[in-house]
Amino acid sequence: MKQILINCEELQTRVAVVQDGILQDFFMERNIRDTMVGSIYKGRIKNLEPSLQAAFVDIGCGKNAFLHYWDMIPASEETLETSDDDGDGEGDGEISGNDESDDDDNLNPPTRAQNNPNPNQNPNPNQPSQRSSNRRRRRPRKNPQQQGTDQQPKVAESSSPLKGLLAKVREIFSTGKKSAKPEPAAAPAPRGGQQQRQPQAPRKAKSDSDSDAPAGNDERDRKSDQGRNRHRPSRRPPKTGPAVEDIPNLFKVDQEILVQVTKGPIGTKGARVTTNLSIPGRYLVLLPNSSHIGISKRVEERDERDRLRQMIRGLELPKNMGLICRTVGAGRKQEHFQRDLDLLLDYWHKGEQVAATHRAPVCVYQEPDLAERALRDCLTEDVDEVVVDSEETYQRATELIKRYNKQDSTRVKFYQNPTPIFHSFGLTQQLDGVFNRKVPLPSGGYLCIDETEALIAIDVNTGKNRSGKDQPETILATNLEAVKEIARQLRLRNLGGIIVLDLIDMRQKKDQQVVFKTFKDLLAEDRARTKIYQLSPLGLLEMTRQREHESMESAIFDNCPYCKGSGLVKSTTSMSVDIQRRLNEILGRRKPGQKLKVTVHPRVADRLNNNDRKLVDGLKQEYSCEISFHSDQSLHIEEFRISDAVSGQNV
């Protein structure tokens, strides 16, 4: 049984996805601050840094947001080089730049190696390979003036022309297109599959030695040129859109610009933003500044992809807007898409009005709160019930589910028991274990998870595991248990960035491949984008995971004020050495007969008065002085004061 539990409190909201009583996913959001990731702001460019190829934008959220030059180029110009029919969703990726919108759809497409471990193997021998079929269906490029009109299947003019910032940005980009020099159209390749020979520039004048060469050399040169041209890829027509080098000319300091947050502020770093906007809905993702039509790559059936593409083309879209169908849209009817599109267009039109009537910085589209996002993104067909402990959220959840699908059989329950909802469902103890450094495994092994500034290190240990018949079998069993738990911990702890797994050494290659494939399949269920690499010669498995927010540990805990987050303090022996060194320095500069008072932490005083008493007596005899130790509980263990016992002044 799969459940979604929503706990709403005054200061925070928590959402848990539970499968048969086991916590599978966990989200938490503080109510004291607005949701930034996915929100759209009208900001003002504060600085352009050519050395970083980035701009810093004031969006009214404290630190200026980071906007890379690549994120200032329209994605439709940079990534969509062909029409939307060119491949099986080849253009579906890297449109929005919004990490929140890809959810389980993974709008940023994985590499070919991730999709198919053996790219040379055709899964169906009776059908041509995907790559060859895409190549045959690829159309010749059209002129930039014709491309936008031919791609859009069914376009309805917007109710009112765009005003303000958005119109200015489009005018800038359209001006960049017009100013580009027209290039001659490339001649189509012959049907035989050979590249047509391009006219070559005249060769340099031959020297005397060249003129005496036999005529057969010309024939050989001609044949070698033909061989080289056969394998040389044809040049694509130059792109007419703006490039990274054009950004400083297109954007100026103090210019207003629409941006969307793709990564929230973490630590001392500000938010990261992009100008490629996207608004996710239940079944669709609206692309306000793109004319692209795409289908989620996780919809793999060819017939279903064609059906969805045809239905989306039947929707009435304003000009210069695109759509991406999400994974949950598979099997849905057109009325579901139309209802979702109307809601998304309403969001966008309201944002346009705010952008036109307010000066920067201002938020023009606010991403929904955690409860609504959880229902939008996590409510799949296998969810049996949603349990909510807030009456207001219960009413909203009921309305949302009916809006998404009136025939949805998911039950919504209002939890009214005085016992906290997470405690009642047995999640409190599971959540407490999420923040432990040591994570036990079922067969007696354990994980050690250490989060650092640069990367996340996860160490696997066999512990008391003796489940296998021999050592290799035990190691394999432990590693398989480990990768299953690691995939779960990555989601629960919201770990991101570079992650290194130190698995137990496996000598056999087949065992390494079994563990690698198992882990890769488990990561496929993760909504965050991940990339995994084969085991290194040292037995390390390296991967990266998309980081949108700070980790759960950073969100819940503060650094210890005593150890300043290091988890370590000096030992009493080290403090005794430091104090004796300081006393030697002071007494060596002063006259004999001094009376000193040393105030220290009680634990350090106990060490000086007992274990190191002989050393202190030696100092007294050497310098003919009196030294007394006093304890003060308020002092830090690494802190001490030395003062004159007579005058009371610090020395």
Mean pLDDT by 10 residues, the chain (651 residues): 92 92 90 80 92 92 90 58 33 35 37 37 41 41 42 40 48 45 40 40 40 43 48 50 80 92 84 92 89 86 90 87 89 87 91 91 91 86 89 89 73 91 91 88 90 90 71 88 93 91 91 94 88 91 86 84 88 94 90 90 94 91 91 93 88 82
* Pair 286, 59: CB distance under 8 Å: no
* In a shared domain, residues 14 and 75: no
In a domain, 131, yes or no: no
Could you give the CA distance from residue 350 to residue 342 in angstroms, rounded to a whole number?
12
Q: What is the pLDDT of residue 453?
A: 81
Per residue, the 3-state secondary structure of 226-260, as one string, reads HHHHHHCCCCCCCCCCCCHHHHHHHCCCCCEEEEE
The model scores a pTM over 0.85: no
| CATH number of the domain within which 538 lies | 3.40.630
* In a shared domain, residues 337 and 268: yes
In a domain, 552, yes or no: yes
| Domain-ending residue, one of 507, 528, 556 | 556
In a domain, 80, yes or no: yes
| Domain-ending residue, one of 377, 409, 434 | 434
* In a shared domain, residues 271 and 340: yes
Q: How many CA atoms lie within 13 A of 258 on its CB side?
A: 27
| CATH number of the domain within which 309 lies | 2.40.50.140
Q: What is the pLDDT of residue 525?
A: 83
In a domain, 616, yes or no: yes
* Pair 579, 614: CB distance under 8 Å: no
* Pair 388, 413: CB distance under 8 Å: yes
In a domain, 266, yes or no: yes
* In a shared domain, residues 541 and 416: no
* In a shared domain, residues 411 and 489: no
Q: What is the pLDDT of residue 574?
A: 95
Q: What is the pLDDT of residue 221?
A: 47
Could you give the CA distance from residue 327 to residue 644 in angstroms, rounded to a whole number?
76
Q: What is the pLDDT of residue 401?
A: 84
Q: What is the pLDDT of residue 407?
A: 65
In a domain, 186, yes or no: no
Q: What is the pLDDT of residue 242?
A: 73
- Decide: residue 236, CB within 10 A, 0-12 exposed, 13-18 middle, 19+ buried: exposed
Domain with 302, as residue range(s), is 36-110+162-172+237-366
* In a shared domain, residues 430 and 525: no
Kind of pairing, strands 40-49 and 54-58?
antiparallel
DSSP 8-state symbol, 203: P
| Domain-ending residue, one of 346, 366, 386 | 366
* In a shared domain, residues 52 and 11: no
* In a shared domain, residues 511 and 403: no
Give Cα separations from 431 to 29, 226, 386, 388, 470 (angstroms): 15, 67, 19, 18, 35
* In a shared domain, residues 345 and 373: no
Q: What is the pLDDT of residue 133?
A: 40
* In a shared domain, residues 353 and 374: no
* In a shared domain, residues 451 and 532: yes
Residue 48, helix vs strand vs coil: strand
In a domain, 414, yes or no: yes
In a domain, 626, yes or no: yes
What's CA 38's distance to the chain center, in Å?
A: 12
Could you give the CA distance from residue 388 to residue 372 in angstroms, rounded to a whole number?
12
The total of structural domains in the chain comes to 4
* In a shared domain, residues 327 and 417: no
- Match 């210069």 to its residue by tokens: 320
